[in-house]
Amino acid sequence: MWRCIACARSCRPWAPRCRSPMPGDAAMRFSKLHWPRSLGTRLLATYVAGILVCMVVIVVVSAATMLLRGDTLNEGISTHARLIGRQLAFDASGRPSGLDESELPMWLYSGMGKETSVRVLDATGDVVLPAGKNASALLQEGKGFEPRDHTFDAVADRLAVRAATHGLDHEGQRWYVQVAVSQRLIELMDRSVGLPALGQGLLLACLASVLVFAVVMYFTLGRMLRPLRVASESAARITPRTLDARLSVQGLPSEMLPLIEAFNRALDRLESGYIAQQDFLAAAAHELKTPLSLIRGQIELSGGEDAAFNRDALIRDVDQMARHVGQLLHLAEATELCNYEVRLVGAAALVDEVGDYIGRLAARREVYLDLRVAPNAVSWQADRGALFTLLKNLLENAIQHSPPHGVVRLMADARQISVRDEGPGIPARDLPMIFDRFWRGAGRRDEGTGLGLAICQEIALAHGWRLSAHAASPGTEFVIAFAPGR
């Protein structure tokens, strides 16, 4: 079936055009009617359709049985009348003289008293058989004798009967056979034979309907679940080398879409993490290769004669490599959410602790620290160790970029923490890259590891905060904006 977009009417796909009164081409736009994608809707629709089929079958069988009951009864009585007419015997004068009982169950008419009876009439409606019993023709109420083949209700010997009249010709004369069966015998047969047969028929109809319903459900479920089986097979084929593969949602029931979409998003995150891990390992190998090469070169140049020639340089390179390793470990810990234990952290106490720790570096650089906590910043929801590392790295970065006798300011309140230095600032083109791993400014290629701000960004993301940097006048300002409710 197809549905006209303009009038929302359904039609056959081979119809030349929609019969809608919509003007112009508006009546020609069609969209195919789709089977609902909802698994629940499909099952419900199939169940309702199956029940309706069962009801229709039962109603049709019952109606047919009731409608055919009268026709079957009439046909049975008429058939007996025709059979008796064929077995009618005639005398030499051409008048009916009896019946050939060899082909007839005469006990049905002679052994049941008034319940069944047979009459043979002439063309005028007078009874010729049985002769001499004062029998009269069976007549429909309010009517006379009707010389034609038909069935009707009548009264015989004050007993309601169902009768049939059948005409036959013999040697140019017209004769009529009438057969009658009492209504009470018919009702008795209905109760003892007809109704049980009807019940059996209805039972068979119900069983057939249930069978049809089960078959339809089987094929419907098979059709609906086929896309899910395909998705399962596709998921089983995904390996670390095919993380770019995604499960198709085409044809899936709507109840399954959130699951498949969530699985695809998980694959996206897994692929991103895998790529980040590969990039991280490559960058780490590159960063560690440089100090190792310097150490090897200095050892080779010093030789065996003057082993202490470059001792200080070797220690400095080893310290640099140890710092790289330490920062790599901090970054690995910062990216794992399971390492965080979020609880209430006293704001003033933590800032004082960070200030005491970083104060020695500030003293060596001749930089002053101005650490302020607003009265409303009583506590923060955070991992204490991670927040300590975050503030330490920001202050350390600000001290390293500040000139002698400069001031590094930390301002904290209930909504945010800001760290500002008085250094030369960061060029606008470099601001988008300062949180990248192993990135260092042009003037600091030989200092630091390029991981400090990346660690800060990971810690902020793990807490649901937003860490940003923008140019100040002078220097650069980093702002940690807390999420609502933090």
Query: pLDDT higher for 152 or 213?
Result: 152
Sign of the torsion angle spanned by Cα atoms 42, 44, 45, 50: positive
Sign of the torsion angle spanned by Cα atoms 101, 106, 109, 111: positive
Is the pLDDT score of 170 beyond 50?
A: yes
Q: Is 290 exposed, middle or buried (0-12, 13-18, 19+ CB in 10 A)?
A: middle
Instruction: In whole angstroms, give the CA distance from residue 78 to residue 185.
Output: 17
DSSP helix/strand/coil, 332: helix
Instruction: In whole angstroms, give the CA distance from residue 156 to residue 137.
Output: 9
pLDDT of residue 176: 92
Model confidence pLDDT, tens digit, residues 386-401: 889 889 989 988 998 8
Confidence of residue 471 (pLDDT cuts 50, 70, 90): confident
Confidence of residue 9 (pLDDT cuts 50, 70, 90): low
- The alpha-helical segments, DSSP class H, found in 87-189 are 107-110, 183-189
pLDDT of residue 40: 62
Model confidence pLDDT, tens digit, residues 180-200: 888 887 777 766 655 566 667
Confidence of residue 478 (pLDDT cuts 50, 70, 90): very high
Phi, then psi, of 102 in degrees rounded to 5: -70, -25
* Residue 476, both tokens: 């650069």
Mean pLDDT, the chain, integer: 76
Q: Give the mean pLDDT of 221-245.
A: 81
CATH code for the structural domain at 269-334: 1.10.287
Angle (nearest 5°) at CA 25 between 20 and 26: 55
Query: Within a 10 A sphere around the Cβ of 375, how many other Cβ atoms?
Result: 9
pLDDT of residue 352: 92
- CA-based max dimension of the chain: 161
pLDDT of residue 37: 62
Query: Residues 6 or more apart from 399 whose CB is under 8 A from it?
Result: 358, 361, 362, 365, 367, 408, 421
CATH code for the structural domain at 338-481: 3.30.565.10
Query: Residues 6 or more apart from 438 whose CB is under 8 A from it?
Result: 283, 286, 287, 449, 450, 451, 454
Fold of 67-190: Beta-Lactamase (3.30.450)
Percentage of the chain lying above the pLDDT 70 cut: 68
Is the pLDDT score of 296 beyond 80?
A: no
Query: pLDDT higher for 52 or 9?
Result: 52
Instruction: In whole angstroms, give the CA distance from residue 230 to residue 235.
Output: 9
Query: Within a 10 A sphere around the Cβ of 365, how many other Cβ atoms?
Result: 17
Is the pLDDT score of 486 beyond 80?
A: no
pLDDT of residue 136: 82
- The alpha-helical segments, DSSP class H, found in 35-182 are 39-86, 107-110
pLDDT of residue 1: 47
Confidence of residue 353 (pLDDT cuts 50, 70, 90): very high
Model confidence pLDDT, tens digit, residues 36-74: 666 666 776 777 777 777 777 777 766 666 555 555 556
pLDDT of residue 445: 47
Instruction: In whole angstroms, give the CA distance from residue 241 to residue 366.
Output: 53
Is the pLDDT score of 12 beyond 80?
A: no
Q: Give the mean pLDDT of 149-160.
A: 85
Query: pLDDT higher for 295 or 402?
Result: 402
DSSP helix/strand/coil, 201: helix
Query: pLDDT higher for 277 or 4?
Result: 277
Instruction: In whole angstroms, give the CA distance from residue 412 to residue 154.
Output: 111
Where exactly are the structural domains of the chain? Answer: 1-33, 67-190, 269-334, 338-481
Cis peptide before 130 (omega within 30 of 0): yes
pLDDT of residue 479: 93
Confidence of residue 208 (pLDDT cuts 50, 70, 90): confident
Q: Is 87 exposed, middle or buried (0-12, 13-18, 19+ CB in 10 A)?
A: middle
Give exposure, 343-358, as e/b (b: 16+ Cβ within 10 Å).
eebebbebbeebbeeb
pLDDT of residue 56: 77
Instruction: Using alpha carbons, select from 34, 39, 45 the residue that is nearest to residue 254.
Output: 39
Is the pLDDT score of 135 beyond 90?
A: no
pLDDT of residue 197: 65
Confidence of residue 246 (pLDDT cuts 50, 70, 90): confident
User: Which range is least confidently modeled, 67-76, 251-260, 289-298, 402-411?
Assistant: 67-76
Model confidence pLDDT, tens digit, residues 413-445: 888 999 999 888 888 888 888 888 777 666 554
Do 67-190 and 338-481 agree at the fold level?
no
Taking CA atoms, 212 is separated from 40, 57, 306, in Å, by 20, 11, 97
Model confidence pLDDT, tens digit, residues 15-32: 445 555 555 444 445 555
Taking CA atoms, 251 is separated from 100, 192, 248, 378, 460, in Å, by 75, 55, 9, 55, 41
pLDDT of residue 28: 47
Model confidence pLDDT, tens digit, residues 66-121: 555 555 556 677 887 888 888 888 888 888 888 777 666 666 666 556 788 888 88
